[in-house]
Amino acid sequence: MSSSANPRSRKTLQCTSAATTFQKAFGKELRRRVVEDREPYAIVQADTPHELFHAMDIPIITNQWWSAYISAKQLSSRYFDAMVDKGYPANSCKYCSLGLACTLANEPETAPWGGLPTPTIMVARLTCDCIQHVFGQWSDALGSEFFPMEAPAWTEMDPNWFAHARSDWERVYQPDRIAHMVREMGDLIAVLENRTGRKFDEAKFHHLMEQINVQEGYVWEAAQAIGKAHPCPVSIGEQMTNTMIPQWHRGSDWAVAHARSFRDEVMERIEAGLGASSNEKMRLMWIGAGVWHDPGFYQALEEDPGAVFVWSMYMPFAGPAYIRDLKDKPMEALASRIASMNETLHLPPWMSGWMVSEAKRCDIDAAIMLLPPDNRLSQSGNKLTASALEAAGVPVLMVDADMVDAKIWDHNRMVGMVAEFLKEKELA
Residue closer to another protein (CB basis): 4 or 342: 342
Question: Which residue in the set 20, 110, 120, 132 belongs to the binding site for another protein (CB under 8 A)?
Answer: 132
297 CB contacts (<8 Å, ≥6 apart)?
A: 4, 6, 291, 411, 414, 415
DSSP-derived letter for residue 3 is B
Q: In sequence order, what are the beta bridge partners of 398?
A: 369
The CB-of-374 to another protein minimum distance in angstroms stands at: 7
Q: Is there a contact between 276 and 311 (Cβ–Cβ < 8 Å)?
A: no
The CB-of-343 to another protein minimum distance in angstroms stands at: 8
Question: Which residue in the set 285, 321, 347, 356 belongs to the binding site for another protein (CB under 8 A)?
Answer: 347
Residue closer to another protein (CB basis): 11 or 407: 407
The CB-of-407 to another protein minimum distance in angstroms stands at: 16
Question: Which residue in the set 86, 171, 228, 413 belongs to the binding site for another protein (CB under 8 A)?
Answer: 86
Report d(CA 236, CA 10) in Å as an integer. 11
Question: Which residue in the set 109, 155, 197, 426 belongs to the binding site for another protein (CB under 8 A)?
Answer: 155
Report d(CA 338, CA 204) in Å as an integer. 19
392 CB contacts (<8 Å, ≥6 apart)?
A: 356, 359, 360
| Burial profile 259-296: b = 16 or more Cβ within 10 angstroms, e = fewer | bbbbbebbbebbeeeebbbeebbbbbbbbbbbbbbbbb
Report d(CA 383, CA 352) in Å as an integer. 9
Q: What is the H or E stretch that residue 189 is in?
A: helix 175-196
Examine residue 383 and tell whether it contacts another protein (CB under 8 A): yes
The CB-of-153 to another protein minimum distance in angstroms stands at: 4
Region from 32-40, 105-113, 126-134, 203-211 binding another protein, contact rule CB under 8 A? 126-134
Examine residue 371 and tell whether it contacts another protein (CB under 8 A): yes
Examine residue 349 and tell whether it contacts another protein (CB under 8 A): yes
Examine residue 355 and tell whether it contacts another protein (CB under 8 A): no
Examine residue 299 and tell whether it contacts another protein (CB under 8 A): no
142 CB contacts (<8 Å, ≥6 apart)?
A: 43, 103, 116, 118, 119, 122
4 CB contacts (<8 Å, ≥6 apart)?
A: 293, 294, 296, 297, 411
The CB-of-105 to another protein minimum distance in angstroms stands at: 14
Report d(CA 265, CA 257) in Å as an integer. 12
Residue closer to another protein (CB basis): 28 or 376: 376
The CB-of-185 to another protein minimum distance in angstroms stands at: 10
Examine residue 291 and tell whether it contacts another protein (CB under 8 A): no
In the sheet that 366-370 helps form, which strands lie side by side, from edge to edge? 307-312, 282-287, 366-370, 396-399
The CB-of-137 to another protein minimum distance in angstroms stands at: 6
Region from 121-129, 206-214, 286-294, 302-310 binding another protein, contact rule CB under 8 A? 121-129
Examine residue 153 and tell whether it contacts another protein (CB under 8 A): yes
Residues that bind another protein (CB under 8 A): 86-93, 126, 128-130, 132-134, 137, 148-150, 152-153, 155, 157, 159, 176, 180, 183-184, 187, 347-349, 352, 371, 373-377, 379-384, 387
